[in-house]
Amino acid sequence: MTRSIRSLLLIAASIFLTCFFVSCAGSTDKTAMMPTNATASSRTGLPVTAIVTGGTPRSEVLANVTNEDFKEALETSLVKSGLFKSAGSGGYRVEAFITSIKQPMVGISMTVGMEVSYVLKKGGSTVWTKSIKSSYTAPMGEAFVGAVRVRKATEGASRENIAELIRSLDQKL
């Protein structure tokens, strides 16, 4: 085999593998960002609405968190936890600013770190503020393709962040 044919085959294989590994990531799934066992003992009896900023636009390539998806995951989780009676206006407002999402480019176990700054308001007055850092590691067994593990780790970091918010609010309210 000539050197130029070998080079072309290596380039073709590299392009194929790059496309395969990158194209499988996709945007995060809002339901995968919701904690399944975060329950609260406190009950406000009021609705809650969330405002989320700092997220990224939807992409089929990057494992990103959109403001809309995080908002839906956040509101649904807060209601399911029992802290609030429903999603809507007239009660509390949670303002969430996604300050950072740190994702690895390569690795065996993909760990994603996330920080969200929260402000809880009622009737225009700030009731509580907290910045929550979370992380999640998606091991090799969770998904073979690295890009999918990054997405799963990003969803896990979001899930852990929302769960910690619920635990913190449960102590406050």
Question: Per residue of the chain (173 residues), what is the pLDDT tens digit?
Answer: 676 666 555 554 444 444 444 444 567 899 999 999 999 999 999 999 999 999 887 665 567 899 999 999 999 999 999 999 999 999 999 999 999 999 987 777 789 999 999 999 999 999 999 999 999 999 877 766 778 889 999 999 999 999 999 999 999 98
pLDDT digits (tens, 9 = 90+) for 118-164: 999 999 999 999 999 999 999 877 766 778 889 999 999 999 999 99
Structural domain includes residue 6: no
What are the φ and ψ backbone dihedral angles of 128, each rounded to 5 degrees?
A: -165, 145
Structural domain includes residue 5: no
Q: What is the pLDDT of residue 19?
A: 40
Q: What is the pLDDT of residue 1?
A: 62
Domain count for the chain: 1
Angle at 115 between CA 109 and CA 121, to 5 degrees: 150
Secondary structure class of 52 (helix, strand, coil): strand
Determine contact, residues 54/19, Cβ cutoff 8 Å: no
List 133's β-bridge partners, or say none.
Answer: 115
Instruction: Domain of residue 100: give its range.
Output: 25-172
Q: What is the pLDDT of residue 170?
A: 97
Determine contact, residues 158/30, Cβ cutoff 8 Å: no
Q: Taking the complete model, does pTM exceed 0.85, yes or no?
A: no
Angstrom CA distances, 137 to 109, 121, 147, stand at: 6, 32, 13
**Which residue in 121, 49, 40 sits closest to 80, CA to CA?**
40
The CATH number of the domain holding residue 41 is 3.30.160.150
Q: Which amino acid is at 127?
A: V
What is the Cα–Cα distance from 137 to 140, expressed in whole angstroms? 10
DSSP 27: P
Structural domain includes residue 33: yes
Q: What is the pLDDT of residue 23?
A: 40
The distance of Cα 117 from the centroid of its chain, to the nearest Å, equals 14
Structural domain includes residue 59: yes
Structural domain includes residue 61: yes
Structural domain includes residue 4: no
DSSP assignment string, 83-139: SSS-BSSSSEEEEEEEEEEE--SS-SSEEEEEEEEEEEEETTEEEEEEEEEEEEEE-
Structural domain includes residue 11: no
Q: Which amino acid is at 2?
A: T
Q: What is the pLDDT of residue 9?
A: 54
Secondary structure class of 51 (helix, strand, coil): strand
Q: Which amino acid is at 113?
A: G
Structural domain includes residue 63: yes
Q: What is the pLDDT of residue 29?
A: 93
